[in-house]
Structure 1
Amino acid sequence: MLLEEQRFLHEDLERLEQGISDRIGDEPKHIRDRLARDHHIAQFLDRISSQSTKLLSIYRDADGSRSHEIQQIGSGDPMEEFYKQLTEIKGFHARYPNEPVENLERAYRPKKGPDADSQPSIVDTMFTGEEAYGRFFDLHTCHELYLNLPNAKRLSYLQYLDSFDNFAPGAGGLKRAEKMTDQYLTYVGQLSQDLETFMRKTRPLENVDKVVADFDKEFDAAWEKEEITDWKIEEPNGKLNSTSKQTSSSEAVWCDDCDKEFKNENVYKGHLSGKKHIRAAAERAKRLNGETDGAGNDPNGSRKGETSPYRLKERAIAEREFRVKRLASAMSTERSDSRVNVERKQGMTERERQQELENLFSATTTMSQAKEAEDGEEEDDEDKIYNPLKLPLAWDGKPIPFWLYKLHGLGVEFPCEICGNFVYMGRRAFDKHFNEARHIYGLKCLGITNTSLFRDITGIDEALRLWDKIQKEKRKDKVDDGSVVQMEDAEGNVMPEKVYYDLQKQGLL
């Protein structure tokens, strides 16, 4: 019955809302469980959207079937209609005797205990080992594509993480003419796709489609206004459609054909006769002629080359570069964490890397065992970590290695009286705290305004003595204009008394 389907959709929506409410109230500790919860909520939201669409079409009743069914039930003998529907239900179950019954309450309930462990998590196969459940980037494939580009700089993976969104001419060893290849288009397209996929996996509750659509609208507006700096239309006279390239000094000269800066005019003139410049000038002239021919239908010539195939390819490349920049800025935290992680792994031995992978894979087992221990009773002993040396905890909640603890000197205490006798563990934390709000606030409470001169000073008396000394030197060096005696020579020149007597002793007056 259509009314039964309508009732089922209403029940399904209520069960979905209850399932979302049960998951939002739980805050897992491990990032894997948090991502799995968010992805489940995202799936429920998608199902709510699809079920609501079906329900709305039933209420609209475009073909009139719902009204006909209501009229059929309401008129005539109710018992006759009841037995008719009962006969249809029995006939259906006779044809399909093994048809399973869907229990919505059980389907959307959060699984705990043995049921949760028997089924794999939704995020187990979603991330690579380098990504660590969405904490870091894994751009090794894009890095290999970049290294295979012609004339690209040989950047290490750590350097690539710092500059993969810098597409300025010469930044990555690629100029504008060198980017107009299918290989570069494939590379920048793969880079934007990987970043967008990473955002979808790590932020399932955000509307990534809307974010990407906003990026595209922003790019379209900037492209129409010629605000994309590196992709402005070039004129046949060798200059860009707007401002020219900015040089590092007033004597420097920029060569538009080679897309390179020269220190002075003489060096620029000497390079004009070189084969490299002649070949670059010929290629650029050919490219500009192709763009001009593509816009031959424009009587005003204001948008030359806009509809040419070459310009359309430039737009496709520029759009992907713009999207990479926006996605990288939106995920700046993951980018900085990825850089720190790569630096950390470079200082580890192969044995330590293998041990870290084993700890990462066993973390899920440990978390499941901890959940099994929670059967309504508080058993804190199962959650405790064996840490007799009281080492600091790493990002995975386990103590850091003892050699790392000794390397950074985390066992050395550095007290600071200005910070209220707060104790900092390790030289790194101690050096860092001089620029933090706690130390600066302590100095301001002592009346010290210039905090940059008080680095490595932790005692209150020492800081006050230094501040008094600085104030005395300032007052000593300060010259009072009213106390200076002015003298005038025979020619009417006015000068201080000391200068007057010095010149008089030298016989210059």
Structure 2
Amino acid sequence: MSSTLLEVTRAAHEDVERLERLIARELQREAENNRDRLFQNHRVRHMIDLVISTTDKLVYIYEDEDNARKDEIAALGGQGANGLFSAFYERLKEIRDYHRRHPAARVVDATEDYEELLKEEPHIEFSGEEAFGRYLDMHELYNEYINSKFGALMEYTAYLDSFSQTSNIPFNLKLTRQYREYLEHILEYLISFLERTQPLQDLERIFSKLENEFDEQWADGKVPGWENNDLENGHASQESVIDLDYYNTVEELMEVGPEKLKEALVALGLKVGGTIQQRAERLFLTKHTPLDQIDRKHFVKGSRTLVQNGAPVQSGSKKAIALMEAKMQRLCEVLKETIIQTKENVEKKQALTYEEMEAEREEEEIQADTESDDEEQQIYNPLKLPMGWDGKPIPYWLYKLHGLGQEFKCEICGNHSYWGRRAYERHFKEWRHQHGMRCLGIPNTKNFNEITSIQEAKELWERIQERQGLNKWRPDLEEEYEDREGNIYNKKTYADLQRQGLI
């Protein structure tokens, strides 16, 4: 017996109502810990997706583009009283025939299937560094950043602070393919992390609102970091324009300087490489030749230039790149607390020994199903004591014993602060101080312990070099050799006598 369209519609409405009741029931249940809350949110997200798909099916049925629903309603009505009853008995006959052919058929209760949704444990993949959604794992993106042309060498913790701040990246490097791919990778990871940790977050609504605001700001030239981007609006910025009417030869144009020529070439979408003469020749081409008639080999790969009212317009991917930056910054606002916790976790791990990290990992595994996040949030810490390896404030007596309220600054480490005498003494052997000493060209020996000033380190190194120059051991003159007769010679004399065959 095939289901009628009206029966499908009724069942769909029933499914939607049942799912709504299950969602309400699930949300009323208080989660025991972070893991349970995450599973709860994913179960609710799955049920919401089922409601959306079922509702889409209902909308399609009610639109009735093929008039199937209208025809079925007309067939149920029949024509007159006789037609109505004949249609009813025909349906009843079909139902009886079906159960006669399938006597063992049982009634399927859809409620049982939906109750299983509340018991399932969703499979969510996290890396070890993410600690089941507590922290971000941006090591791959960090390596991509520091190994790129637009990036800079920095620590991982500094990268977590600054990866969302794109204002320090030069404008010409933002238009490269490498930077665009980097932004795509960041967006892909942040969206994936948000979907895994906050499945009830409506990303589509967030991005829709953001894009509307972005379009208005872009039209007004008020997008942060892109305020002077006048090329997209149809005219080059005044700073980058060179009036070629004042120059009659390439040699005269070369007097402008390489940087000014580079800015003018970037504004036109032309290549900026080569010597100053090659730059001037490339720019001088535009004096008598329209941009659309210049050989494509002179343009940057991937850039397309148009001409509107005699002014060059670069219609590339600038708006798309600016939009990706805006999306990344909005996602960072949503994940602000997670980013802060990630940085704190990385700094804490740098101060732990291997044994302490293993103990922390084992304790987290044991307490993952029993410890509630509410208890962690209610930790009373009015003195703002440092957190121990167990995630709780250390005792105050231990804080005083180690002098953690005492700050030591090291100029060689870039004025980095070390709290407590122990951390201060240990840092002389750590990578940050060693890197600072290498930059100064000074060996990091015991002679330089307790030296934190760059000037003092340089003065001490000069004194050591002077002392080594006066008291330097000279093996040719001071190394002693003895012949068979017991005579003592220095190395140089012994070698000379031996060559002459005298000894």
* Correspondence for 2:213: 218
Aligned counterpart for 1:199 among listed residues 194, 203, 228? 194
* Correspondence for 1:182: 177
Structure-2 change in CA distance of 1:225 and 1:101 (3 Å): farther
Look up the equivalent residue of 2:264 and give its one-letter code.
A
Deviation at 1:180, TM superposition (A): 2.6
Q: 51-60 or 340-349, which moves further after superposition?
A: 51-60
Contact 1:20-1:44 at 8 Å conserved across structures: yes
Deviation at 1:321, TM superposition (A): 1.4
Show structure 2 runs of 5+ residues with no match: 242-253, 271-289, 292-303, 382-386, 406-503
Q: Could you report, residue by residue, the CA deviation over 1:419-476 in whole angstroms, capped at 9, with x for unpaired residues? A: xxxxxxx998xxxxxxxxxxxxxxxxxxxxxxxxxxxxxxxxxxxxxxxxxxxxxxxx
Matched, 1:228 2:218: no
Deviation above 6 Å: which 4+ runs of structure 1?
none
CA distance in 1, matches of 2:391, 2:224: 49
Deviation at 1:149, TM superposition (A): 0.4
Structure-2 change in CA distance of 1:102 and 1:150 (3 Å): farther
Contact 2:43-2:117 at 8 Å conserved across structures: no
Contact 2:269-2:305 at 8 Å conserved across structures: no
Deviation at 1:187, TM superposition (A): 0.6
Deviation at 1:18, TM superposition (A): 1.9
Structure-2 change in CA distance of 1:102 and 1:207 (3 Å): farther
CA distance in 2, matches of 1:365, 1:87: 54
Aligned counterpart for 1:67 among listed residues 46, 50, 73? 73
CA distance in 1, matches of 2:262, 2:399: 64
Deviation at 1:331, TM superposition (A): 2.3
CA distance in 2, matches of 1:128, 1:102: 41
* Correspondence for 2:265: 286
RCO comparison, higher one (Cα < 8 Å, 6+): 2
Deviation at 1:29, TM superposition (A): 2.4
* Correspondence for 1:267: none
CA distance in 2, matches of 1:167, 1:223: 17
Q: Could you report, residue by residue, the CA deviation over 1:289-313 in whole angstroms, capped at 9, with x for unpaired residues? A: 3379366541264xx41xx3xx422
Q: Superposed, which structure 2 residues align to 1:444-483 within 5 Å?
A: none
Work out the percentage of aligned pairs sharing the same amino acid.
24
* Correspondence for 1:162: 161
Show structure 1 runs of 5+ residues with no match: 245-255, 258-274, 371-383, 385-390, 394-398, 413-425, 429-509
Q: Superposed, which structure 2 residues align to 1:331-410 within 5 Å?
A: 331-364=335-368, 366=370, 409=397
CA distance in 1, matches of 2:204, 2:319: 21
Look up the equivalent residue of 1:191 and give its one-letter code.
I
Look up the equivalent residue of 1:228 and give its one-letter code.
V
CA distance in 2, matches of 1:177, 1:193: 24
* Correspondence for 2:49: 46
Q: Could you report, residue by residue, the CA deviation over 1:186-231 in whole angstroms, capped at 9, with x for unpaired residues? A: 1111112222222233322232101012222222222221113533
CA distance in 1, matches of 2:211, 2:178: 23
Residue 165 of structure 1 aligns to a residue whose secondary structure is coil
* Correspondence for 2:451: none
* Correspondence for 1:377: none
* Correspondence for 1:81: 91
CA distance in 1, matches of 2:74, 2:404: 81
Matched, 1:142 2:141: yes
Aligned counterpart for 1:108 among listed residues 114, 130, 154? 114
Structure-2 change in CA distance of 1:410 and 1:289 (3 Å): same
CA distance in 2, matches of 1:106, 1:65: 34
Query: TM-score w.r.t. structure 1 length?
Result: 0.57
Structure-2 change in CA distance of 1:229 and 1:105 (3 Å): closer
CA distance in 2, matches of 1:401, 1:289: 57
Deviation at 1:183, TM superposition (A): 1.3
Query: TM-score w.r.t. structure 2 length?
Result: 0.57
Aligned length: 336
CA distance in 2, matches of 1:339, 1:240: 41
Look up the equivalent residue of 1:52 and give its one-letter code.
T
Structure-2 change in CA distance of 1:132 and 1:103 (3 Å): farther
CA distance in 1, matches of 2:192, 2:210: 15
Look up the equivalent residue of 2:222 and give its one-letter code.
E
